[in-house]
Structure 1
Amino acid sequence: MGSLTTKDFEALSDAASFKSVLKSKLEPKKYAAILEGVHYETELLKLQAELVDLQQWVAKHKKRVCVVFEGRDAAGKGGAIRRFTEHLNPRSMRVVALTKPTEVERGQWYFRRYIKELPEPGELVFFDRSWYNRAVVEPVMGFCNDEQYKKYMVQVPEFEHMLSEDGVIIIKFWFSISKDEQLRRFNSRLANPLKQWKFSPVDKEGQKRWDLYTSYKEQMFSKTHTSFSPWIIIKTNNKKEARLESIRYVLSKFEYDRKGESNTTILPDPNVVQRYHRMINQID
């Protein structure tokens, strides 16, 4: 395998010749990785164009759309949200990522701080973690007591039912990754000075308490998966695949103007995007 030179690029006339030169000069794995990257970027741009059309439709018809991103630490929630919002109009879109509650908020009804962040008519709101903190993270890490947890689990379906009845459209994603993949991503963060801020003591405990997380996660699914607010599982260790397929799912749920004009599939891959149901084999 040789290296690419200026002459190689000067001789190119179209995409086919470019691929041919790359294939002759690069190792098969590297060549495949480049093609995969190009395909991902091309698909992402097309889907982001569809999201712009969706946002205009939401604004025009005064819809209230709430997209919840949940999952274990390093599951890819933040990266997916960035791809969702990259080209959207910030005037009718928000990302909500709340910090830990204040002393005053801890004395209030649990859902109150989230109610204030719900979408206005014509707005899309993306929750980077949500009221479901109390379903998994808080009980696992000891941030709430058993009574608070039980009361919360009873109230969640009622809370979401009221939102649904009032016209709020809720899409709930759970980004699912394996334990080995989570550890690999943690190590990658620690090795990157630009990403070290993402790693916290809570993340470290996530690996130690993996099975406890799993137990609370399953309880959350079984008690809060409803017909009006179902859980959608994004089941893959591939970040790029997770981003594309979650965008496709959101697009598939609405009949907006110019839908499908980007000439890419809007329907998500059923091997990656699944409504919750009890499974014996799970990657997380």
Structure 2
Amino acid sequence: MNKPANKIIDPKIDRILLQSTGRTLEELIVLAREDDTMKVLNVYRDGLALWEEATRDTKDRVIVTLDGRDTAGKGSNIKRVAYDLPNARYTVKAFPKPTSVDKFEHNHFRKFMPYFPGENGGITFFDRSWYNRAGVEAAMGFCTQEEYDWFMENVAHFEKSQIIDQGINFIKVYLSITKGTQKERLDLRKQRIRKRNKISPIDQQAQEKWNYYTLAKAKMLELTDSKDAPWMVIDSNEKWLSAIEIIKAIINTNTEVSSIVGKKIDLTPDKGVVRTAKQELARMKKLGELKTMKKEFHFRELDQDGQEEVDSIRKRLVFVPKTYSYREKRMR
């Protein structure tokens, strides 16, 4: 699919063109290549448009969670996938830093539920999901050991009871990139004015904490992959390729529609781009990543005030499984 650079842009391209666009030759080559591959992506967008039209009456509901390292392309993949979808048919949600109450046990899951697709159907994309607890928070030391352990013990039940058993199609995506790709994208954020607003303090430590993130990734894939909610690991070094695979997964949630769309385009997952959790762990082992990753997290330690706050929340709130929410305890 990718063409040699000299077939796309003349290496002797005028410096004036480079200066006028504010881009390097390498960036222009990437843009030219993406322009060519955009035609392929648009074919799959047409297929997604057919799926959207066909599922209006059936009111299919789909949740797509996108997790991964910083710069893995969570937001940009969502934009590529949802580009032609009617605004009323999809929702994109990302969350700010949680409060102490938001972080508390089931509330960590509960805050996502109001954004699940409603009775009229549609797609909800989560730009980072509840797996932020097992990913960024664990790797960066933002959560406690207790919070991490509680999450890992309860996430499978949440996904089964509140998503799968409710008839919602669930696509759980981990976007995988190389350390080199991350560095290039971080450097680009610093260089390009329009991308500087995306730089955060966490970004500054992404490369430094790479092996902690690798540990977080390995633990997630090993311990939270399930028959009901399997991980779909997608290579996101080329974002247009990962977007196509997400589109395929959405179309394949409805077998009747996919059987029709599949006559025009190939809906089979690309084995060079998509991997199961077990396949990804095997790949990481082969590359030596499991040896170089950190062996344990440095979890956050609560000070006295922090522990008292958690104890106070636990004393005054009681969990109600039927509504999957907390209520204030009745004082006697």
TM-score greater than 0.5 by the shorter chain: yes
The residue type equivalent to 1:267 in the other structure is: T
Q: Which residue of 2 aligns with 1:153?
A: 152
Aligned-pair distance for 1:52? 1.5
Summarize the Cα distance change of 1:153–1:48 in structure 2 as closer, same or farther, 3 Å threshold.
same
Cα distance in 1 for partners of 2:178, 2:8 equals 36
Aligned-pair distance for 1:26? 3.6
Is 1:120 equivalent to 2:125 in the alignment? Answer: no
Q: Which residue of 2 aligns with 1:7?
A: none
Cα distance in 2 for partners of 1:182, 1:24 equals 25
Is contact 1:134–1:152 with CA below 8 Å preserved after alignment?
A: yes
The residue type equivalent to 2:42 in the other structure is: L
Cα distance in 1 for partners of 2:31, 2:175 equals 25
Structure 1 vs Structure 2: percent identity of aligned residues? 31
The residue type equivalent to 1:69 in the other structure is: L
Aligned-pair distance for 1:240? 2.2
Query: How big is the alpha-carbon RMSD for the aligned residues of Structure 1 and Structure 2?
Result: 2.7
Aligned-pair distance for 1:236? 4.5
Aligned-pair distance for 1:282? 5.2
The residue type equivalent to 1:72 in the other structure is: R
Cα distance in 1 for partners of 2:192, 2:63 equals 32
Deviations 1:37-84 (A, max 9, x none): 343111111111111222223332122210011110001111110011
Aligned counterparts, 1:1-284, within 5 A: 26=10, 36-107=33-104, 109-121=107-119, 122-162=121-161, 163-257=163-257, 259-260=260-261, 263-277=264-278, 278-279=281-282, 280-281=285-286
Cα distance in 2 for partners of 1:283, 1:199 equals 30
- Secondary structure of 2:193's match? coil
Summarize the Cα distance change of 1:150–1:32 in structure 2 as closer, same or farther, 3 Å threshold.
closer
Q: Which moved more, 1:184-193 or 1:29-38?
A: 29-38
Aligned-pair distance for 1:105? 2.3
When the two structures are superposed, what TM-score results if normalisation uses the length of structure 2?
A: 0.72
Is contact 1:249–1:273 with CA below 8 Å preserved after alignment?
A: no
The residue type equivalent to 2:142 in the other structure is: F
Is contact 1:43–1:264 with CA below 8 Å preserved after alignment?
A: no
Aligned-pair distance for 1:246? 2.6
Cα distance in 2 for partners of 1:34, 1:210 equals 28
Deviations 1:163-184 (A, max 9, x none): 2112111101111011111011
- Secondary structure of 1:173's match? strand
Q: Which moved more, 1:93-102 or 1:55-64?
A: 55-64
Cα distance in 1 for partners of 2:9, 2:68 equals 40
- Secondary structure of 2:108's match? coil
Deviations 1:2-60 (A, max 9, x none): xxxxxxxxxxxxxxxxxxxx969945999986774343111111111111222223332
Q: Which moved more, 1:99-108 or 1:192-201?
A: 99-108
Is contact 2:190–2:196 with CA below 8 Å preserved after alignment?
A: yes
Is contact 1:66–1:168 with CA below 8 Å preserved after alignment?
A: yes
Aligned-pair distance for 1:117? 1.5
Aligned-pair distance for 1:89? 1.2
Summarize the Cα distance change of 1:74–1:155 in structure 2 as closer, same or farther, 3 Å threshold.
same
Aligned-pair distance for 1:154? 0.4
Deviations 1:153-207 (A, max 9, x none): 1000011111211211110111101111101100001100100111111111121
Deviations 1:210-239 (A, max 9, x none): 111111211111111011100011125222
Cα distance in 2 for partners of 1:246, 1:127 equals 13
Aligned-pair distance for 1:106? 3.6
Q: Which residue of 2 aligns with 1:16?
A: none
Is contact 1:49–1:262 with CA below 8 Å preserved after alignment?
A: no
Summarize the Cα distance change of 1:267–1:39 in structure 2 as closer, same or farther, 3 Å threshold.
farther
Cα distance in 1 for partners of 2:69, 2:169 equals 24
Cα distance in 2 for partners of 1:54, 1:252 equals 9
- Secondary structure of 1:100's match? coil
Cα distance in 1 for partners of 2:288, 2:50 equals 34
- Secondary structure of 2:217's match? helix
**Structure 2: gaps of 5 or more residues:** 1-5, 13-24, 290-332
Cα distance in 1 for partners of 2:40, 2:192 equals 27
Summarize the Cα distance change of 1:228–1:82 in structure 2 as closer, same or farther, 3 Å threshold.
same
Provide the aligned length of Structure 1 versus Structure 2. 263
